[in-house]
Amino acid sequence: MSRELDREVAEKVMQAPTGKWWCPICESWVDGKDVTYDERHDERTGGCGRAVDECPNYSAFIADAWRVVEKMRLDDWLVIVKAMPERFGYLIEGSRSEYDAPCEDRYVLHGKYVCNLENMRRDFHHLRIVRPGIGSTAPEAICLAALEAVKEDK
């Protein structure tokens, strides 16, 4: 999974604060003034002394990806993560509605992970389903689906 994907999720989905570092031990964002030159959470300012990173590893670790799931859930999204067996593929049905732009069915390869997001807006009149995120791992699929959802929100 790529750190570029992680940075994009941090910025666009999680609205991470700018100019801060992520401390995975403290599980919090840390001000730049509390980070040493060798990129550690400075113990002199109450930090843990461990390495910090520019953002969580959303696309690589399920614990970090689950933060994305919880954020989407709080934003009224139903999050469905599917782990497809090696022996079976997954069919994504295209639109056949006369109201939507028609699109073709898409078949996903075996053994992939799929994350579907559905959103019922607070007025309960509009159900939105975004293009599913498909990845080699569950965290990657979650990140791709979340990015698709925020892209459509704009």
Whether residue 54 is predicted with pLDDT greater than 70 in this model: the reply is yes
pLDDT tens per residue, range 103-144: 565 666 677 888 988 886 665 566 667 778 889 999 999 999
pLDDT tens per residue, range 89-98: 666 655 555 5
CA gap 142, 62 in Å, rounded: 9
Q: Determine the residue type at 150.
A: V
Counting every residue written for the chain, the total comes to 154
**Average pLDDT, integer, range 139-151:** 93
R_g (Cα) of the chain, nearest Å = 18
- How many Cβ atoms from other residues are within 10 Å of residue 103's Cβ? 12
pTM of the predicted model as reported, rounded to 2 decimal places:
0.81
Write b or e for each residue in 50-69: b if 16 or more Cβ atoms lie within 10 A of its Cβ, otherwise e: eebeebbbbbbbeebbbbbb
- How many Cβ atoms from other residues are within 10 Å of residue 141's Cβ? 24
